[in-house]
Structure 1
Amino acid sequence: MSRLAILRWPDPRLSAVCEEVTDIPAAAALAQDMLETMYAAPGRGLAAPQVGVLQRLFVMDVGWKDGAATPMVCINPEIAAASEAQAEGEEGCLSIPGVTARVRRPTAITLRYLDETGNRREAALEGFAARCAQHELDHLDGLVTFDRLPPEVRAPLEAAYEALP
């Protein structure tokens, strides 16, 4: 395994819509490198475009900082269902270090994806796990946290980010 470089916004690859994964073994190998990179960052989620690979793949582990590691590899993920209930929550991003923003999202989702062996999976995610998966899915659709914000909130956060060393 090896650590990968994480792209920083406004790299144009972070605005690209990703292609479906067709080579599961190659995606599984990439996912292992992405997990190593995510843990070292240290983050809780990482999408393939954040490491320059424009494929529909993300990894996440929402509990490892508080307990045992429970990594998820999500290949060609999609939201099958989302709750009507929504909540605002703080989100950070490894591609926009030093900036957090309050983003409104559904509080629960059903996520369908292929795992690293190519098996179809479905996961009912709530709370922070649902938020993390939706954030990573946004990356696969070419969206970053800033894209979820109204202009009057986005502008000062972008300015703060650009002023960071």
Structure 2
Amino acid sequence: MAAGLRLHLCPRLRAFADSSRPLFAPHFGALTLPLRRAGPAMPLAARARRSSTAAAPPAEDDDFATAADLRFEPPLEVVKYPDPILRARNKRINTFDDNLRALADEMFDVMYKTDGIGLSAPQVGVNVQLMVFNPAGVKGEGEEIVLVNPAVYKSAKRLLVFEEGCLSFPGIYANVVRPESVKIEAQDVTGAKIKVKLSGLPARVFQHEFDHLLGILFFDRMTMDVLETVREELKISQKIPKSACIPFPSQNISA
């Protein structure tokens, strides 16, 4: 999956990508940009719940992004490992304006141009809590989602293995274990609150991008055996910790 997830998917994962079913219930409308779906809608994979009004901006704090933190110059480019930007702290967002929408638009442009299906803000050099994704991976198809300040409050106990890649690691693909589904809270590009359960490909894309917002890279999630298969490509043997596989927090795992 790429600087978000790359559209290089094993057969089972590609089956999710080829599905036209919407990620969120249509009566809630688009989370960010207008929805574009290919073909007739299929049964919903998840249901979202949004507040009718955006939350009031929190007081200024070092944890929140300033205007300078959100400044960017198009065209954006994908940040490649080992750029320290990928490990830097990503600040929360409390300003929902035209600049934020423009940043999300630019991120979608980069994602499509690099054949990705997801992208996080730090991957384009902006260290804030923002991600975009579209499992269809094609502009004008599927459903474009923007999530701001996301958090996982519940993860499935069942774990699945799928091959992932990352735009920040061109040409490298390996198996990564992740929960089958997750329940998340976030805000959309207008600041409206969202609660949603994601499963299948959307869950995998979200978790990959969410890791980026935590400064975690996909090789951090690989088992040592899998890591050995890509060690030469990564060329970072001295930088990989002995306990390279990061476990999922037990408090987030539930049936």
Is the structural similarity TM-score above 0.5? yes
Structure 1 residue aligned with 2:179:
106
TM-score for both structures, normalised by structure 1: 0.90
Deviations 1:29-87 (A, max 9, x none): 2111101110111100000000011100000001244x823110000001121111111
SS in 1 for 2:203: helix
Among 80, 90, 95, the alignment partner of 1:23 is 95
Greater percentage in helix: 1
Name the structure 1 match of 2:129: 56
Counterpart pick for 1:133 among 166, 183, 206 = 206
Aligned to 2:119: 46
CA 1:153 to 1:61, structure 2 compared with 1: closer, same or farther past 3 Å? same
3-state DSSP class of the match of 1:20?
coil
Q: Secondary structure at the match of 2:170?
A: coil
State the identity as a percent.
35
Partner Cα separation in structure 2 for residue 17 and residue 101 of structure 1: 26
Aligned pairs for 1:1-165 (under 5 A) are 2-25=74-97, 26-65=99-138, 68-162=141-235
Show CA shifts across 1:5-26 (max 9, x none): 1001111111123111122223
Confirm or deny: 8 A CA contact 1:2 1:37 kept in the other structure.
no
RMSD: 1.9
Unaligned runs of 5+ in 2: 1-72, 236-255
Q: After TM superposition, give the deviation of residue 129 of structure 1 in Å.
A: 0.8
What number of residue pairs does the alignment pair up? 162
CA distance in 2: counterparts of 1:158 and 1:71, whole angstroms = 34
The runs of 4+ residues in structure 1 deviating greater than 4 Å are none
CA contact (8 A) 1:98 1:161 kept: no
Cα offset for 1:150? 3.0
Gaps of 5+ in 1: none
Structure 2 SS opposite 1:130: helix
